[in-house]
Amino acid sequence: MFDWVVAAVIVKALLYATCLTAGGGVLFLAAFGRQLNEPERRFVIQFTRSVAVVALYVTIARVAILSAMLGDDFASLWDWSLIQIVLDSSDGRAAAVRVVGLIGIGVFSFGTGASQAIAVASALLVAGSFAFTGHAGSVGPGYLSRLLVGAHLLAVSFWIGALVPLFKIASSSEFSRIGAILRRFGSIAVFIVPGLIVAGVILLWLLLGSLEAIFTSEYGRLVLLKLSFVAGLLTLAAINKLRLTPGVAAGNRAAAARLRWSIAGEMILATAILLVTAIFTTAVGPPEMK
């Protein structure tokens, strides 16, 4: 018998990856667009728009998977009566907001001025759409948990969306310019990371209810696994900022090569983080909801 929960986890992980990458690409263009040369800028725009298109298809796939979970058979994937139930739920409202944001990213991510402002607003919609669903809205003050989820995922989007552009840019031989971009990214990250940590700690407290639950519940153990990946990601980021970025700025080719490997490592860890998040937001409930 087909396991629809496994399918839902995979689609949820893809949804996180594509939506947050597309939104982050827009934020990267807004923050660093003027420091990119024209080929780099075209690459980031094309990549961001392509990922946004994929995210639209994944959004549709998630609605179909949720419909199939209701009917527990393949025919339910396209059963309109079940699809309407999904669309009328919080998942349907989140999907609608997400689609609007992704279309905005696809249409306006190429521009500057007003177009860029619309693209950034679209990225905010995409990140915020995840606050409509999930466990966080079911515990504690709903408005607080949803606000924290939206802010947390917006920061994650900025980080994840920058990885592919930075990997591409790190291959340039214009070391002083690349060093300036990396230093600026590091300076922004210094403010983002504490916000991520604060929002994450408050959300964990709302969802777990106690420190003991992080060790005694299945949800808590998955959170610990996620945090181990986060720690690895932050370690690589610190190495990039403190050791590799100064080397790149000084024209050290070896440092630039190591930076690309380090960014690739961050991509792998980010993928693991999103997969674990998809598991405990789909297949496992937090103690406070039991």
**In tens digits, what is the pLDDT along the chain, a chain of 290 residues?**
678 889 999 999 999 999 999 999 999 999 999 999 999 999 999 999 999 999 999 999 999 999 999 988 888 888 999 999 999 998 999 999 999 999 999 998 877 788 999 999 999 999 999 988 765 555 555 567 788 888 889 999 999 999 999 999 998 888 999 999 999 999 998 888 888 888 878 887 777 777 777 787 888 889 899 999 999 999 999 999 999 999 999 999 999 999 999 999 999 999 999 999 999 888 876 665 55
CATH architecture of structural domain 4-289: Up-down Bundle (1.20)
Q: Mutual orientation of helices 142-169 and 114-129 as an angle, nearest 10°?
A: 120
Rounded Cα distance between 117 and 119, Å, is: 5
- Euclidean distance between CA atoms 44 and 107, whole angstroms: 14
Q: What residue spans define the domains of the chain?
A: 4-289
Note the pLDDT of residue 226. Answer: 92
Q: Which residues contact 249 (CB under 8 A, 6 or more apart)?
A: 175, 176, 178, 179, 180, 182, 183
Nearest to 123 by CA among 100, 95, 140: 100
pTM as predicted: 0.91
Cβ–Cβ < 8 Å for 178, 248 = yes
